[in-house]
Amino acid sequence: MKRWFRWWGIAAFAVLVVLVAVGWLLLADRIVKNALQSAGTRVVGAQVDIRKADLSLFPAGLTLIGLQVTNPQQPMQNAVEAERIAMSLDAPALLQRKILIEELTLEGVRLNTPRKSSGAVKTASSRRDDAAGKKAAPSASESDLPGELLSGAFIVPDVGEILKNEKLQTLVLAESLRSEIEAEKRRWEQRLDELPDKEKLASYRSRIDRLKNARKGGLGSLLGAPAELVAVQNDLKRDIDRIEASLGEFEKQSKSFENQLNQLTKAPEADLQRLTSKYSLSPGGLSNIGGLFLKHRLRVWIERAIAWYQRLQPLVSRPAAAANGPRAVVPLRGTGVNIRFAETTPQPDLLIRRVRAGIDLKQMKLTGDVETITSDPPLVGRPLRFDFVGKDAAAAGSIRLNGLLDSTDPQRKLGKAHLQMQNVAIGPKSLSDRPEMTARLQSAVVDLDLRTALDEERIHLKLEAGLDAVRLSAESSRGDSGLARALSEALAGVRRINASASVDGTLLQQQIQLTTDLDRVLKDAVTDLARRQATELTQSLRKGIRAETNAPIKETGLQLDRFGRVGDELSGRLALGDNLLKGLL
Amino acid sequence: MIVQIARLLKILNSESEPGQISLAFCFSMVAGLTPALSAHNLLVLLAVLLLRVNLSAFLLGWLFFSASAYLLDPIFHRIGLAVLSAAALEGLWTYLYNIPMVRFTRFNNTVVMGSLVFAVAGFVPLYYLSNTLIFRYRDRLLGWVRNTRWMAVVKATRVYSAYERLAGWGGGA
């Protein structure tokens, strides 16, 4: 035996195994922490930080301290922060690489907290975009609300600035017509060279004269003359026909250019109408300006909610494990592919049966449960449900949020949520942070009923809200038109807002219908001012457009005149040919 | 310190029969070609320490085969996929898949299975090939290597002297 075995090898093996196990135990917390941070960052698309992770083996469990999830849209803000997350793990399931959690407790959860450093992460695609100098398409929060409408409302637009930024269609048309005329002129000049010119026509006169002299000659000349005469006549007729056909074609072309020139002279008026409607605030446009403030805020909320849903959705809707036959999943370069086989007692890769959470809002604490978070809803056969309740003792206000997300049928995903708020005091909220006008809802007491439904990719939302004890503030920082002042004063005087909204569409695009009595208040305040401003703007714009377009239009007309000379030349040649033909007959 | 290094070298270079060196290469192929953290490598490590195989050869071979594995991963993936998808073996794999400890070994991973099948299949051929090459080396090249200048430099070191002394105490195979 000694010839084949070295018995001290068992001891060496035991020592090595113990060393590795101790090393793993010492580093396990750090390994788990780093793995969770990088997986979370990949899912969220922004930095996920964990201050400390504590993994215990007997009993199996994990506690995370100081979780921070960056808001990808605002990297200096955490979307969620949790003081402590504790969970017990099913150890035998871990051997099968499955995470089964009976209960997970979330303590000290806070939303939208500031970060000390940016949590933005550079993805490969964003790095490529940066290198290419590309800019991401603005979201609703970036592009902000009323846009050009507000530009018109709060700043008296500078005509010079408008004309510098806008491309006048008149100038585009004039430039295009001029180059077209120039090209046609060159083509006709070439064609003139190919057509019988005055010299050629003069040569007919010589031939005719020679024939006339021949008549006076002898008998031989007299016999050959008629045939020669017919030949000259045919040649001349052929040339006249060519000139006539070209003249007809030219006149058609010339007429078309004249029509275009005529349209060009009307183009400045079309430009004026376009720019006036773009840069002035019509009384009609004011009819929904109040809605625009709230609509913008609503769109931002919807965008954020959908973005989070889409980020987290892949974690809780992985297709069911193969019941029949092996199936390959997620190939990764260099790490192979895990083949899944049918399980005798199928279990999902991830199942959290219950999450108990306490969320600290500014005015109240929201507590509740989320049930059945799983990567394999069809296998578990139960939808994800959530129910949160919060009470504000001081203002007797309450919030309730409940709903479900049902992916148990792989063919159809359904979801619904219901948010009720009663007498809830809300703090400062920005409605617009555009430089033209900043508007803030300083405080209000809200009653709100919001219901959403999701059916596959289709979303439907219905909102009824009433805001009491409203304090709004607004100011225009860039320019101080009477219109901006009037709007600011009107907003400051608002004490109650009623709003109802419905949203229909897909996860990618939604139609928002919103009505609010804020519209009437603002419209009353600014209608006359808006009309006056629109008239002034129209006059100034007309003057400016004329100054810009007069010269190009005139130049185009002159060019068309020069083009007309081709027609004069053709007419001259035709008259000469006709005279010769008459003399011959 | 020198004595300790020499002792380590002595342990590493004991069991220097051609068969012991060849067996070390074969084990190193299994450990090197399969992913390092695979559970079956614990058995390989136990075998290497328990059986009288040459540890230097094992370490050297492990380095060589680990480096080669990166290039061979696509081939291992194909082999593993073919083996794990074979209809005739589906019952076996499904049975093993439902045993927690076996699933923990990641046998259902194409690279793990492919590299293991490749290494196991090559185990015996590599043993005989190595044996043949070692015999030929000792017959034809060893004398020349001993006379090279490089070998003279190595022999002049204190570590080598200490190693020689320890080897003379009766260690080795």
* B53 contacts on A by Cβ (under 8 Å): none
Note whether B90 contacts A: Cβ–Cβ < 8 A: yes
* A335 contacts on B by Cβ (under 8 Å): 109, 111
- Position B172 in a domain: no
Closest chain A residue to the Cα of B46, Cα to Cα: A13
Q: Which tokens go with A89?
A: 């793990």
* B173 contacts on A by Cβ (under 8 Å): none
Closest chain A residue to the Cα of B71, Cα to Cα: A334
Predicted pLDDT of residue A152: 47
* A6 contacts on B by Cβ (under 8 Å): 49-52
Residue of B98, B101, B112 lying closest to A336 (CB–CB): B112
pLDDT confidence band for B13 (50 / 70 / 90): low
CA distance B51 to A50: 46
Degrees (nearest 5) of the Cα angle A465, A371, B99? Answer: 155
Do B100 and A16 count as a contact with CB atoms less than 8 A apart? Answer: no
State the smallest CA–CA distance between residue B52 and chain A in angstroms: 6
Do B109 and A339 count as a contact with CB atoms less than 8 A apart? Answer: yes
Note whether B66 contacts A: Cβ–Cβ < 8 A: no
Residue of B85, B93, B103 lying closest to A96 (CB–CB): B103
Do B30 and B119 meet the contact criterion of CB atoms below 8 Å apart? Answer: yes
Closest CA to A172 of A274, A250, A276: A274
* Run of H or E including A410: none
Q: What is the dihedral of CA A318, A319, A321, A322, to 10 degrees?
A: -150
Q: Which tokens go with A339?
A: 């083949």
Predicted pLDDT of residue A460: 93
Degrees (nearest 5) of the Cα angle A579, A581, A584? Answer: 110
State the smallest CA–CA distance between residue B155 and chain A in angstroms: 29
Note whether B16 contacts A: Cβ–Cβ < 8 A: no
ipTM of the complex: 0.77
Higher-pLDDT residue of B98, A222: B98
Longest dimension (CA), chain B: 62
CA distance B77 to A297: 51
Listed range (A109-118, A320-329, B8-17, B32-41) with the worst mean pLDDT = A320-329
- Position B173 in a domain: no
Size of interface A-B (CB pairs under 8 A): 86
* B111 contacts on A by Cβ (under 8 Å): 334-336
Note whether A27 contacts B: Cβ–Cβ < 8 A: no
Do A336 and B103 count as a contact with CB atoms less than 8 A apart? Answer: no
Note whether A97 contacts B: Cβ–Cβ < 8 A: yes
Do B51 and A341 count as a contact with CB atoms less than 8 A apart? Answer: no
Residue of B52, B70, B100 lying closest to A6 (CB–CB): B52
Predicted pLDDT of residue B3: 65
- Position B86 in a domain: yes
- Position B99 in a domain: yes
Do B76 and A336 count as a contact with CB atoms less than 8 A apart? Answer: yes
Do B81 and A326 count as a contact with CB atoms less than 8 A apart? Answer: no
Give the number of domains in chain B.
1
Do B85 and A342 count as a contact with CB atoms less than 8 A apart? Answer: no
- What DSSP state is assigned to residue B1? -
State the smallest CA–CA distance between residue B156 and chain A in angstroms: 32
Do A339 and B46 count as a contact with CB atoms less than 8 A apart? Answer: no
Q: Which of A1, A338, A344 to mutate to test the interface with B (most CBs of B within 10 A)?
A: A338
Predicted pLDDT of residue A395: 58
Q: Which of B15, B48, B72, B94 to mutate to test the interface with A (most CBs of A within 10 A)?
A: B94
Alpha-carbon separation of residue B6 from A121, A438, B61, B162, B169 (angstroms): 51, 80, 21, 6, 13
Note whether B77 contacts A: Cβ–Cβ < 8 A: yes
Q: What residues are paired with A371 via a beta bridge?
A: A354, A385
Q: Which tokens go with A113?
A: 């907290």
Do A95 and B100 count as a contact with CB atoms less than 8 A apart? Answer: yes
Residue of B73, B94, B104 lying closest to A341 (CB–CB): B94
pLDDT at B56 over 90: no
Do B77 and A337 count as a contact with CB atoms less than 8 A apart? Answer: yes
Predicted pLDDT of residue A332: 45
- Position B123 in a domain: yes
Do B109 and A337 count as a contact with CB atoms less than 8 A apart? Answer: yes
Predicted pLDDT of residue A320: 45
Tell the burial category of A343 from Cβ atoms under 10 Å away from its Cβ (0-12, 13-18, 19+).
middle
Q: How many residues does chain A have?
A: 585
3-state secondary structure A47-100: CEEEEEEEEECCCCEEEEEEEEEEECCEEEEEEEEEEEEEEEECHHHHHCCCEE
* B84 contacts on A by Cβ (under 8 Å): 326, 339
Residue of A13, A336, A338 lying closest to B45 (CB–CB): A13
Instruction: Write out chain A's pLDDT in tens, 585 residues.
Output: 557 788 888 899 999 999 988 998 889 899 999 999 998 898 888 899 999 999 888 888 999 999 999 988 888 999 899 999 999 988 888 888 888 998 999 999 998 898 988 888 876 555 555 555 554 444 444 444 444 444 444 455 678 888 888 889 899 999 999 999 999 999 998 888 888 888 888 888 888 777 777 766 555 555 556 777 788 888 888 888 989 999 999 999 999 999 999 999 999 999 998 888 777 765 555 655 666 667 777 777 888 888 888 777 777 665 544 445 555 544 444 578 888 888 888 888 889 999 999 988 877 888 999 999 998 888 889 999 999 999 876 657 899 999 999 988 888 889 999 999 998 888 788 777 666 667 788 888 899 999 999 998 899 999 999 999 988 887 765 555 566 677 777 778 888 888 898 989 888 788 888 888 877 777 777 776 777 777 888 888 999 999 999 999 999 999 999 999 999 999 988 888 888 888 776
Predicted pLDDT of residue A141: 44
Note whether A329 contacts B: Cβ–Cβ < 8 A: no
Do A344 and B103 count as a contact with CB atoms less than 8 A apart? Answer: no
Predicted pLDDT of residue A144: 41
Tell the burial category of A361 from Cβ atoms under 10 Å away from its Cβ (0-12, 13-18, 19+).
middle
Predicted pLDDT of residue B54: 87
- Position B148 in a domain: yes
Residue spans of the domains in chain A: they are 44-117+346-400, 163-281+547-584
Note whether A328 contacts B: Cβ–Cβ < 8 A: yes
- Domain of residue B124, residue span: 2-167
Q: What is the dihedral of CA B142, B143, B149, B151, to 10 degrees?
A: 50
* B50 contacts on A by Cβ (under 8 Å): 5-7, 9-10, 13
* Run of H or E including A585: none
The per-residue b/e assignment along A43-62, b for 16 or more CB within 10 angstroms, e otherwise, is ebbbbbbbeebebeeeeeeb
* A7 contacts on B by Cβ (under 8 Å): 50
Tell the burial category of A397 from Cβ atoms under 10 Å away from its Cβ (0-12, 13-18, 19+).
buried
* B85 contacts on A by Cβ (under 8 Å): 326, 339
CA distance A278 to B160: 91
pLDDT digits (tens, 9 = 90+) for B126-143: 999 998 988 888 888 777
- What DSSP state is assigned to residue A355? E
pLDDT confidence band for B154 (50 / 70 / 90): confident
